Chain A
C-alpha cells in the first residue's frame, strides 16, 4: 500500500528472547492508531525495531513506509525515509542546544551543501514552541539535560513538529506527564493530524486517548495484536482491565 505504514509478519528478538511474534499492522496515512497492552508485551520493542535499533534483530517479516522497505536499513536512513520516534526515555546530549540539534536534523534532510535558511528556521521554531507553551529560552538549553519529565516529552513533540515525518510513533508519551503537560502535548499532536501524517500511539493507559482520540485501537499481547476496534475498545479495556485480554485469549 503506497500511502501507509505497513508491518507484515514481523518476528524480532533481543538476545535469544523472541519479542515480536508475527506482528502485523497497517496504519494508513492520515489516521491515528493506538496500541495498548500490558507491560512487557513488546510495545516499546515494536517502536525500536521499526526505528532500526541495533540491539534488536529481525528474524523475518517486513515493514514499509509508503512502499519503501525499512527493515534492514540504518536508523538514520529510516528517519530520513519519514519515520519519527518520540522516545519514552529520550537521551541527554550535553553541550548541544535544542536549536542546534533540530537544525542539524533538518540539515541532514537537505541535499549536501544546500543553503540553510536560518531566519525562517527560527521563525518556525519559535512559533511551534509557542503552541507547546515553551519558553524561548528553551532553545539554548542542552538537549534533555536536566529536563523534567514533561519538558522531555514536550521537546520530543517539538522535534516532531519541526521534522514533519510521514509517520510518527509515540512511545508512552504520556508517561511522566501531569495533566496540564498531557493536555499541551496532546494539543500539539492534534494540530499535526491531517492527511499527510500517520500516527502510532503506544500507551499503557486510556487517559492519553481522551485527548488524542484514535481512529483505531489495537490491543497487543505477547508480541502480536490480539484485538482491534474503534476508540470504544480503549474504554472497554480500561473498564475490564488487561486480565480480560489474557482470559479471553486463554479461552479462545
Chain B
C-alpha cells in the first residue's frame, strides 16, 4: 500500500469514529485523542493529520524526551507540579478544513470569533487571518495580493505537507525538541499554529494575524508556529489568545520559531488574555542573520501561570534583537516572564524593556539572560525592567543573568520598582474616576511608552484589557 492509500485508509477509519464522537461529546468534536498522553495519542494525531513518517518519528522522539526530562521546579515555581498531564485532552477538532470565508465556519465557532471582533479587524487592517479553535484552524485567509507575491500563510500540517522544501529545513531547528520539557511536549503533540514564508525582498505592510481560542475544558492547546522571512523581507505577525473560564486547569504550551535571514525584519506581537486557570508555558525564539532584526512584543495578561522568555539568537553581523514585554499579574496569578539575548556575532545589538504590574496578591517575576562571549567585539545590550505594585500584597522579583566578556562589548541594566500610592488613587478619584478607572489609568501610564510601539488597534485592545482587569480587581 502506498503512503497515500495508507493515509486515506486511516482517514476512513477515523471517519467511523466521527459518528461515535458526535454522540459521545457535548462539544461535538469529530476527532478526540481522548484523555492522557501516550505514544498512541501521538500516533492518533499523526494519523488524523495524515503526516509523513518523519514527522511521526519527530513526535515520538519528543514524547520520550518529555517523559525523561524532570519538571523544572528547581528554578521555577512549584505550581508546575499541579499540572495533571494524565487528565488533559491533547487533540480535539471538528474535523473540517479551515474555511476561506467566515460564512463556512460553523455557527458556534463563528460567533466566538465575532464576539472577539476578529472578522471586523480583518476587514479593517489585516493582510491575513488564521483563527484556531482548540487544536485546528477553523478559518484561514490571506489577501489575494499576498499569495501573488508568493507569501505562504498556513498551518504546520499544510506547511510540512505542501512546502517541505521550505519548512523542513528550519522546523525544530531554532527550538529543538530537547530545549526544555514543554518544548518537548509541544513537539510531541503540536497541532495548529502558523507557518509563514515571506519571499526575498517582499515587505508585507499589513500584519498577519492568528487568533487562538481554547474552548474545551481540560484541554491542552499546542500550536506551533514557524516564520521564515527570506533575505530583505519584512513581516509583522500578531497573535491573540483567549479562553473561557473553566473550573479546571487548562494547558497552553506553544512553540514559536522565527528565522530572519539576511537583512530581514520580523516583528512578532502577542496579546494574550488567558482566563485565570490556564497554565501558559511557551517557548519562543528567533534567529537573526546578518543585518536582520527580530522583535518580540509580548503582552501577558491573565493565566494562572505564564512562563515565557522570548529570545533572539543574534547569529549574523549587525543583527538586532528586541523584546518589549508587558506582564500583568492579578490576584492568584503568576507572570514569570522575561527575555533572552544570545549574541553570536560581532556588532550585534539587543534591547530588552520589560514592565510588570502586580495587582492584589499577584506575582510577577522577570528572568533575563544576556550572553556575549569573549570572542565577540562591539556588541551592545540594553536592559530595563520596571515593576509596578498596586498594593502591599503583590510581589515582584527580578533575576537578570548577564554574562558579558571580551573587549568593546557594552551592557546597560536598569531596574526600578514603583508603587501606586493611596494618595495617587485619591487624587484621581477626586477628579471623578472610580477606583478601578484610577488604577487602570495609573497602569496605562506605567506602560504608556511601550504601548506607543504597538500598532494602534492593538494598543486600544491592550488598554481595554487592562481596564477590564483593573475593574475586576476592585472589590
The stretch that binds B, out of A73-81, A114-122, A127-135, is A73-81
Which residues of chain A from 59 to 111 have any CB-CB distance to chain B below 8 Å in the complex? 74-76, 78-80, 84-85, 87, 90-96, 100-102, 104-105, 108-109
| Residue interface bits A147-159, CB-to-B below 8 A is 1, else 0 | 0000000000001
| Residue interface bits A136-166, CB-to-B below 8 A is 1, else 0 | 0000001000000000000000010001000
The answer to whether the Cβ of A227 comes within 8 Å of any Cβ in the partner chain is no
Shortest Cβ distance from residue A44 to the other chain B in the assembled complex, whole angstroms: 13
Shortest Cβ distance from residue A90 to the other chain B in the assembled complex, whole angstroms: 6
Quick one: which of B423, B432, B437, B448 contacts A91, CB cutoff 8 A?
B423
A95 contacts B444, C-beta separation under 8 Å: yes
Interface range on chain B: under 10, 10 to 19, 20 to 34, or 35 or more? 20 to 34
Q: Which residues of B contact A52 (CB under 8 A)?
A: 429
A76 contacts B442, C-beta separation under 8 Å: no
B448 contacts A51, C-beta separation under 8 Å: no
Q: Which residues of B contact A94 (CB under 8 A)?
A: 418, 445-446
Shortest Cβ distance from residue B450 to the other chain A in the assembled complex, whole angstroms: 10
CA of A105 to CA of B431 in the docked complex: distance in angstroms?
6
| Residue interface bits B417-435, CB-to-A below 8 A is 1, else 0 | 0100111101111111111
B427 contacts A108, C-beta separation under 8 Å: no
B445 contacts A91, C-beta separation under 8 Å: no
CA of A199 to CA of B444 in the docked complex: distance in angstroms?
33
Q: Which residues of A contact B428 (CB under 8 A)?
A: 91, 93, 101
A85 contacts B448, C-beta separation under 8 Å: no
Quick one: which of A51, A78, A95 contacts B447, CB cutoff 8 A?
A95
B434 contacts A76, C-beta separation under 8 Å: yes
A79 contacts B430, C-beta separation under 8 Å: yes
Q: A93-B424, A108-B434, A108-B437 are in contact. Are A74 and B429 (CB under 8 A)?
A: yes
A76 contacts B435, C-beta separation under 8 Å: yes
A96 contacts B433, C-beta separation under 8 Å: no
B430 contacts A85, C-beta separation under 8 Å: yes
Shortest Cβ distance from residue B273 to the other chain A in the assembled complex, whole angstroms: 21
Quick one: closest A residue to B433, CB to CB? A108
Shortest Cβ distance from residue A106 to the other chain B in the assembled complex, whole angstroms: 8
Shortest Cβ distance from residue A103 to the other chain B in the assembled complex, whole angstroms: 10
The answer to whether the Cβ of B449 comes within 8 Å of any Cβ in the partner chain is yes
Shortest Cβ distance from residue A212 to the other chain B in the assembled complex, whole angstroms: 21
The answer to whether the Cβ of A53 comes within 8 Å of any Cβ in the partner chain is yes
A95 contacts B432, C-beta separation under 8 Å: no
Quick one: which of B429, B434, B445 contacts A95, CB cutoff 8 A?
B445
The answer to whether the Cβ of A54 comes within 8 Å of any Cβ in the partner chain is yes
CA of A95 to CA of B421 in the docked complex: distance in angstroms?
15
Q: Which of A76, A84, A85, A108 has the most CB of B within 10 A?
A: A76
Q: A54-B422, A76-B435 are in contact. Are A93 and B430 (CB under 8 A)?
A: no
B426 contacts A104, C-beta separation under 8 Å: no
Quick one: which of A93, A95, A142 contacts B427, CB cutoff 8 A?
A93
B446 contacts A109, C-beta separation under 8 Å: no
CA of A27 to CA of B446 in the docked complex: distance in angstroms?
40
Q: Which residues of B contact A102 (CB under 8 A)?
A: 431
Quick one: closest B residue to A165, CB to CB? B432
CA of A65 to CA of B31 in the docked complex: distance in angstroms?
65
Shortest Cβ distance from residue A120 to the other chain B in the assembled complex, whole angstroms: 19
Q: A76-B429, A108-B433, A163-B431 are in contact. Are A91 and B421 (CB under 8 A)?
A: yes
CA of A96 to CA of B442 in the docked complex: distance in angstroms?
7
The answer to whether the Cβ of B441 comes within 8 Å of any Cβ in the partner chain is yes
CA of A52 to CA of B425 in the docked complex: distance in angstroms?
12
B445 contacts A53, C-beta separation under 8 Å: no
CA of A101 to CA of B437 in the docked complex: distance in angstroms?
11
CA of A14 to CA of B438 in the docked complex: distance in angstroms?
24
Q: Which residues of B contact A85 (CB under 8 A)?
A: 430
Q: Which residues of A contact B431 (CB under 8 A)?
A: 79, 101-102, 104-105, 108, 159, 163
Q: Which residues of B contact A100 (CB under 8 A)?
A: 441
Q: A74-B429, A75-B429 are in contact. Are A93 and B445 (CB under 8 A)?
A: yes
Shortest Cβ distance from residue A57 to the other chain B in the assembled complex, whole angstroms: 15
Q: A93-B424, A104-B441 are in contact. Are A109 and B429 (CB under 8 A)?
A: no
CA of A52 to CA of B427 in the docked complex: distance in angstroms?
11
A95 contacts B448, C-beta separation under 8 Å: yes
Q: Which residues of B contact A90 (CB under 8 A)?
A: 427
CA of A74 to CA of B430 in the docked complex: distance in angstroms?
9
Q: Which of B424, B427, B429, B431 has the most CB of A within 10 A?
A: B431
A54 contacts B426, C-beta separation under 8 Å: yes
B426 contacts A95, C-beta separation under 8 Å: no
A79 contacts B429, C-beta separation under 8 Å: yes
CA of A60 to CA of B432 in the docked complex: distance in angstroms?
25
Q: A93-B441, A95-B444, A95-B446 are in contact. Are A53 and B426 (CB under 8 A)?
A: yes
Show the binding face of B for A, using Cβ within 8 Å. Answer: 418, 421-424, 426-435, 437-438, 441-442, 444-449
Identify 6 new A-B residue pairs, CB closer than 8 A, beyond the known A76-B429, A104-B433.
Answer: A76-B435, A87-B430, A92-B424, A94-B446, A101-B428, A108-B431
A-B contact pairs, 25 of them (CB 8 A): A51-B430, A74-B429, A74-B434, A75-B426, A75-B429, A75-B430, A76-B429, A79-B430, A79-B431, A87-B427, A91-B426, A91-B427, A93-B424, A93-B428, A93-B445, A95-B449, A96-B442, A96-B444, A96-B448, A101-B428, A101-B441, A104-B431, A105-B432, A105-B433, A108-B437
Instruction: Report the 8 A-B pairs with minimum CB-CB distance, sorted nearest first.
Output: A95-B445, A96-B445, A95-B448, A75-B429, A91-B427, A105-B431, A108-B432, A79-B432
